[in-house]
A and B are shown apart, each in its own frame.
Chain A
C-alpha cells in the first residue's frame, strides 16, 4: 500500500516537474523549426460557433494526419467580441506556440474598441483557410415571412421590438445588421450571445426573431425544418441553397463575407511562421477540408499565405473602417 502511495506522490511530483519545465523552456529559433510544446489555438469566439467548429476540425485533422509533433489545443476566448483573444495574442509577442483563428471581428473590434490598444497589422499572417458567407434566417413557424419584402414588412410592423440575435457588438453579424437597418430604414434590438451556436438555438426557441448566421451554424436546424433561409448576402447563390435568392438579385447590392484565417502573435519567428504555413497549407489541400467547405457553404478555392495574407488584411482593415464609418460605430454598438 505504502509503495503505491509513494508512487502516486512520485507521479504528482513528476507532473509538477513537467509543468515547471514547460514553463522554463524557451524554444530557440533554429533553422529547422518545429513546435517544442503544445500549440495554443486561440478561438476569438464561443464554443459551437463557426470559428469554433473550424478550429476543432483543423485540430482534429492535424492530429489525424500526424502533421504536428505536439498537440494543438483549441482555447475559446470569446470575451468582448474577440477583444480578450486579441489582447491575449498581443501580449504573447514573440511567442511561437500561440496561433489565432479569426473572424472579421479581427478587423472591427480594434476599430470599435480603441481602449484595448491592439493593432492587428502587427500580427504574423499565416494562412487564409476559407471565406465564409452570411444568410438571413427566421424560425420556420413564421409563415408570414416568405421573402425579403415580407421580412422587411414584419420588422417594420414590430417597430424596435424586433429582436436580432448575434454574437456580439462589433462582430460581423452586428455590422451586417447595421447595414440592413440603414438600407431598409428600420430599427431593431440587437442581442448578443456567446457564440453562433447559441444564437442559432435561440432562434429555434423563438427567443429572437431573426439572425444572420453563417450556414454552418444553422444547417442542421435547417435540415430538420426548424429554421428557414430568406436571403443570401453573396454574389451568387450558394450550392447549398439553390432556391434562396441573393440580395443582389433582389436589387439590393449588399454583399458581405468573412475570412477565416490563421495568424500568429506579433514578432513570431520567420522559421515558425514558415512551419505553420506548411502545416495549414497541407490542411487546406486535404480532401476533408475541401468537403467541409462544400457542405457548409464556405469558399475554399484560393489559398493565401504569409505576406499576401498581410496585404489582404490591410485591404480588409481599410474596408471595415469605411463600413463602420458609413453606418456609424454607434449603430453597431447600439449606444
Chain B
C-alpha cells in the first residue's frame, strides 16, 4: 500500500509537469467537443489525433489521448441532453431521461448532474484502478464465456424486471432488438443471415448508433412536430446563482445511483470486449431497478442521467486496465491507444507495471487531474449549452436533422445506414405513439451480439450442456440474481392482488 501511495505521488507530480498539464487541458477540451458532435466519437478523435502525439514524449502523448477519451465521455451527454441526439454511443442511455428533463426546462439540472456524475464515476474508478489494478486484472481473467453470458442475462433482466413498464411490451421490444442484432454475418460460421435477399449494407450488421440516432433524433423531432404543430417552442431557462446553488443541492438525489453506476461501470469496463456503452445501459437498468419510483424513468428522472454518465466514465477508466495489464483493449478507443503504445516502444502486458512504472503511474496520475479539469470546463460551459435550447424549434429542427444525417453516415460511411437511420426515425415515432418502450430494443442491439457469442462459445465448450451456466460460481450467482429480478414484479403483483382480495373480503 505504501508503495502505491509513493508511486501515485510520483505519478501526480509527473502529470503536473507543464507539458503534461497542457496536454490534459487541451485533450479534455478537444474531447468535450468531439464527444458533443453526433457521429464523432472518441474513437475517431483519438485515431485522427494519434499522429500529433509523435511530436511529444510517450507519457505526454498517452496523457493527451486519454484526456480526449475522457473528455469525449463527458461531451457525449451534451448533445444527448440539449438536442436529444446521442453524441456518442456511450451517451445513448443519457438521452432516455436527459431529453425529457431538457424539454421540461431543466436542462441545466441535467447537464450539471451529467458533469457531476461523470466526475464521481471517473474518480471512483481511478481510485479503484490505483488500489486494485493487479487483483482486478486477475479477476477479469476468471471471466470466460459462461460468465460473460450470465452477465448479459443479468443486464437484460434489469430491463424486464421491476421496470413498471408494460412487461409484455418490454419483452417485445427486447426481442425486436435481438432480431436486429442478429442481422449480418453469423459469428461462428461466417455465413450471411437476415440480409433481406442480398442487400450488401446489412452484411456489417445494423449499427447501434444508427438505430439510436434514428429513434431519438428523428423520431423525437417528428413527435415534437406533432405535439407542438411546429409552434415556436422556447424553453425559458435563466442561469442564476440561485439555480446553480439549487443544482448543487440536487446532488444528494442521485449520489446513490451514481456510486452504484460507477462501481458497475468500472467493473464492466475491465472485462475485455465489453466497454463503456454496455456499461452505461446496464447502469441505467440498475438505477431503474433500485429506484423507489421506477415509473418516472424515461420521463425525466435525474438519476436516469446520472447513472449512465457515471458508468461510462468509470468504464472508460476500467477499460484501460485490460489494455495495460493484458495488452487487450477493452473498447475500440483503447484499441487505438494500444496501437500508439506499441509504436512508442512500450509493450502492454503483465510486465508493463514493473518495467515502465513511470509511464503507467504518469497515466494514472493524469486521470485524476483530467477528471477535475473536465468537471470545471464542463460546468463553465453549461450556461452556453443551455442557451441552445432557447432557439426557436424552426431553427433547431433543421440543425438536428443535419446532425442526424451526418451522425448516421459517419460510423460506417455508407448511405445505406443513412436510409436505415431515417427508417428507424419513423419506426421510433410510431412506437412512441403506440406507447412501446424503445430503450429495451436499444439495449438488446448492443448486448445481443455479445450475448450470442458468449452463449455459443460456452455451449461449444460444454458440448451443448446448459448446466455449465449453473455449475460455475460466478455465472451461477449472476443467473440467480437475474431470475430473482425477473420474478420480482410477478410476486409483487400477486401480493397486491391478494391484499386487494382480503381487503374486499373483510369490507
Nearest-neighbor residue (CB-CB) of A192 within chain B: B188
Residue of B nearest to A84 (CB): B185
Tell me the complex Cα distance, A185–B331, Å: 40
Given A9-B399, A79-B185, A169-B189, verify A197-B327 contact (CB < 8 Å). yes
Q: Determine whether the beta carbon of B347 is less than 8 Å from that of A79.
A: no
Cβ contact of A13, chosen from B332, B402, B453, cutoff 8 A: B402
**Which residues from chain B contact A160 at a C-beta distance below 8 Å?**
463
In the complex, per-residue mask of B458-470: 1 if CB is within 8 Å of any chain A CB, else 0? 0011010000000
B235 at interface (Cβ–Cβ under 8 A)? no
Q: Determine if A161 and B343 form an interchain contact, defined as CB atoms under 8 angstroms apart.
A: no
Q: Within 8 Å of chain B (Cβ to Cβ): is A163? A: yes
| B343 touching A224, Cβ below 8 Å | no
Query: A208 to chain B: closest CB distance in Å?
Result: 8
Q: Closest CB of chain B to A234's CB: distance in Å?
A: 22
Contacts of B406 in A (CB 8 A): 15-16, 19
Query: Separation in Å of the B74 CB from the closest CB of chain A?
Result: 17
* A306 interfacial contact with B, CB 8 Å: no
Residues on the A chain within 8 Å of B403, using CB: 12, 16
Determine if B265 is an interface residue (Cβ-Cβ < 8 Å): no
State the CA gap A202–B145 with chains docked (Å): 9
Q: Does B165 contact A (CB under 8 A)?
A: no
- Chain B: minimal CB distance from A96 (Å): 15
A47 to B: closest C-beta gap in Å: 4
- Closest-CB distance, A94 to chain B (whole angstroms): 15
What residues of B have a CB within 8 angstroms of the CB of A193 in the complex? 457
Interface membership of B384, Cβ < 8 A: yes
Return the contact of A80 from the options B187, B383, B453 (Cβ within 8 A).
B187
For chain A, what secondary structure do more than half of its interface residues adopt (helix, strand, loop), or is it mixed?
helix
Does chain A have a CB within 8 A of B84?
Answer: no
Determine whether A191 belongs to the interface, using a CB cutoff of 8 Å to chain B: yes
Chain A, 51-87, contact with B by CB distance < 8 Å: what is the 0/1 string?
Answer: 0110111011101100000010110110111111001
| In contact, B351 and A223 (Cβ under 8 angstroms) | yes
Contact B141 A191 (CB under 8 A): no
In the complex, how many angstroms separate the beta carbon of A281 from the nearest chain B beta carbon?
19
**CB within 8 Å for A113 and B347 given contacts A63-B50, A64-B51, A202-B144:** no
**Would you call B388 an interface residue if the criterion is a C-beta within 8 Å of the partner chain's C-beta atoms?**
yes
Q: Which residue of B lies closest to A171 (CB)?
A: B190
In contact, B335 and A47 (Cβ under 8 angstroms): yes
Instruction: Tell me which residues from 53 to 92 in chain B have a Cβ below 8 Å from any Cβ of chain A.
Output: 54
Query: Would you give the shortest CB distance from A309 to chain B, in whole angstroms?
Result: 25
| Contact, CB under 8 Å: B461 / A163 | yes
Cα A193 to Cα B329 with chains together (Å): 14
| Residue of B185, B188, B340 touching A169 (CB-CB under 8 A) | B188
A228 to chain B, nearest CB (A): 14
Q: Is the CB of B460 within 8 A of A189?
A: yes
Of all chain A residues, the one with the shortest Cβ separation from B205 is: A79
Q: Which residues of A contact B200 (CB under 8 A)?
A: 87, 91
B18, chain A: closest CB distance, angstroms: 24
CB distance from A80 to the nearest CB of B (A): 3
Interface string of A94-135 (1 = CB under 8 A from B): 000000000000000100110110000000000000000000
Of residues 15 to 57 in A, which have CB atoms within 8 Å of B's CB atoms?
15-16, 19, 23, 47-48, 52-53, 55-57
Question: B343, A61: Cβ atoms under 8 Å?
Answer: yes
When C-beta atoms are compared, the residue in chain B nearest to A9 turns out to be B399
Question: Once bound together, how far apart are the Cα atoms of A12 and B388, in whole Å?
Answer: 13
A82 vs B189: C-alpha distance in the bound complex, in angstroms?
Answer: 11
Check if A198 is an interface residue, CB within 8 A of chain B: yes
What separation, in Å, do the CA atoms of A113 and B189 have in the docked complex? 8
Q: Is the CB of A191 within 8 A of B204?
A: no
Asked whether, in the complex, the Cβ of B141 is within 8 Å of the Cβ of A60, the reply is no
Contact with A along B98-133 (1 / 0, CB 8 A): 000000000000000000000000000000000000
Instruction: Determine how close the nearest CB of chain B comes to the CB of A183; give it in whole angstroms.
Output: 23
Chain A residues closer than 8 Å to B40, beta-carbon distance: 15
Sample of 28 A–B contacts (CB below 8 Å): A4-B384, A5-B384, A5-B388, A19-B406, A47-B332, A48-B329, A52-B335, A57-B343, A63-B50, A64-B343, A71-B48, A71-B51, A74-B336, A79-B205, A80-B187, A80-B189, A80-B190, A87-B203, A116-B190, A163-B461, A197-B327, A201-B272, A205-B142, A219-B347, A220-B327, A220-B349, A224-B351, A333-B189
Top 8 nearest A-B pairs (CB, nearest first) are: A220-B349, A80-B190, A56-B339, A207-B144, A60-B343, A63-B51, A224-B350, A80-B185
Given A60-B54, A61-B343, A201-B326, list of 16 further CB < 8 A pairs?
A: A1-B387, A16-B405, A48-B338, A60-B339, A63-B50, A71-B48, A71-B51, A80-B186, A80-B191, A83-B185, A169-B188, A189-B463, A201-B141, A201-B328, A221-B350, A224-B351
Residues of chain B at the chain A interface (Cβ within 8 Å): 37, 40, 47-48, 50-51, 54, 141-145, 184-192, 200, 203-205, 272-273, 322, 326-329, 332, 335-336, 338-340, 342-343, 347-351, 383-384, 387-388, 391, 399, 402-403, 405-406, 409-410, 453, 457, 460-461, 463
